[in-house]
Structure 1
């Protein structure tokens, strides 16, 4: 299953994976710089994991082979070695230092809020989400607010995804710094959208914040990722990234409602 977001490059359609697939192993395609950084860090760490795994497996196999009675009747009298002990202490420390540099850089970037042009408030309920665009008000000085419920299976239209479609999507513009303030009204929730690299806990009585900078138009699916009760699996998140003119039109229509 793929979202219907695509881009034409040399007349060849490129379809992005912005929703979970059956038997999926890898990440969804990134749509923000943060998610790109997460995937790159994962690939970098996999290099170290593979190298260490091969080396440790080789050491175990070599140990089993040489310490077998059929290979060596007389056991070695070696009890310790200063050089090897220094090597297996210093080498992991160096590897951790190498890993720490990109890790800290990514963590800092995930926590940084860069002069947001738009602020959106997200409130988790049992079992739906509420959104508020407090930057815009109508003639009655009321902000844009709406609830987002999952579309029941019997009401789905052709092309919509089961357990992931909502009646009111969170619409955001592309190439814009957006701050998302997350909280909850009752119990713990978590606002998570994998393609955007976002997972922010929604805690009653506390405001958490995260940011996103969506680089391409499309539909990005997520779900509550904190067990919050019997209908935990039925409060999906659907972020629709559109061009700035379309976003302005959507805001204008919402203010007229």
Structure 2
């Protein structure tokens, strides 16, 4: 559909030698990158440099030529307290921002709409219970370079059906699976969650920038695990409403409506089916 391709040119494509996380387009993704850049990386860098310098010092100070008779020391109470206590303190300090971020990922209340995502071997099913309760199956569009060139799509990244999300809308994302464990992972949105048979997991996103974004299944789910990409086209609210009205007529309805919010929350707190 024409609307499904809207905004594609606005999305930033990955470039060679990119080494950082994708540009965040949601509040959660931005918080995750801030936690990564302002907390985790400085701490990890300091620890890495300290350990490197310590190793160099030990190699130089206790080399065989400088210590023909090795030390027989086996215990040092001060060192043992330090190398136990300092890591504990580091983890306690990191716990505060990480728990704050963890709770933020679960704040699905006050959502404007719901989209249910079902993992299959090996494709994704998207249900729109608030816009006619239709569903769309999205499979990989091109497995080979030749197929990608013929169709004008991205190899192993584009899907045969375009899945559309509205911008500037808080979307409750519900996840489950029809067969085995999958994982719906889209870093631009700050969402990475398992789809588990017999269980309904939840997350949320609020996408601030229209465009086309790509992700992948990040849970080893079988022989075609590498061939179930995620392609989401984000458009303004008005365009989404027009697309949803057209899609309701084009795609089949879901046999059973999506669970109500209260029931969905109850299911999400129950153990997974073994």
User: Normalising to structure 2: TM-score of the pair?
Assistant: 0.78
Kept in 1, the 8 Å contact 2:148–2:155? The answer is no
- Which residue of structure 1 lines up, in the alignment, with residue 175 of structure 2? 182
Distance, in Å, in 2 between the alignment partners of 1:93 and 1:107 is 20
Structure 1 residue 190, shift from structure 2 partner: 1.6
1:25 to 14, 19, 30: 19
Gap change, CA 1:54 and 1:241, over 3 Å in 2: same
Output the aligned Cα RMSD.
2.5
Structure 1 residues 254, 98: CA separation in 2 closer, same or farther (over 3 Å shift)? same
Of residues 216, 229, 235 in structure 1, which corresponds to 2:222? 229
Alignment partner for residue 104 of structure 1, among 99, 105, 113? Answer: 99
1:224-257 CA deviation, whole Å, 9 max, x = no partner?
Answer: 2222222221121111111111111111222343
Match of 2:247 among 244, 249, 254: 254
Describe the shift of the 1:124–1:67 C-alpha distance in structure 2 as closer, same or farther (beyond 3 A).
Answer: closer
The residue aligned with 2:256 is none
1:122 corresponds in structure 2 to 117
Structure 2: tracts of 5 or more residues without a match: 1-6, 251-274
Structure 2 counterpart of 1:147: 137
Q: For CA contacts below 8 A with separation 6 or more, give which structure has more relative contact order.
A: 2
**What residue in structure 1 maps to residue 47 of structure 2?**
52
Worse-superposed segment, 108-117 or 70-79: 70-79
- Residue-by-residue CA offset, 1:42-79 (whole Å, 9 max, x unaligned): 22212111111222222222223222354356766866
Question: TM-score, normalization: structure 1?
Answer: 0.82
Q: Distance in 2 between matches of 1:113 and 1:171?
A: 20
Q: CA deviation at 1:5?
A: 4.2
Whole-angstrom CA distance in 1 between matches of 2:26 and 2:113: 16
1:200–1:73 Cα change, 3 Å = closer
Describe the shift of the 1:48–1:210 C-alpha distance in structure 2 as closer, same or farther (beyond 3 A). same
5+ unaligned residues in a row in structure 1: which ranges?
A: 7-14, 138-142
Count of aligned positions: 240
Secondary structure at the counterpart of residue 130 of structure 2 = strand
State whether structure 2 residue 55 is matched by structure 1 residue 65: no
Looking at secondary structure, tell me which structure has more strand per residue.
Answer: 1
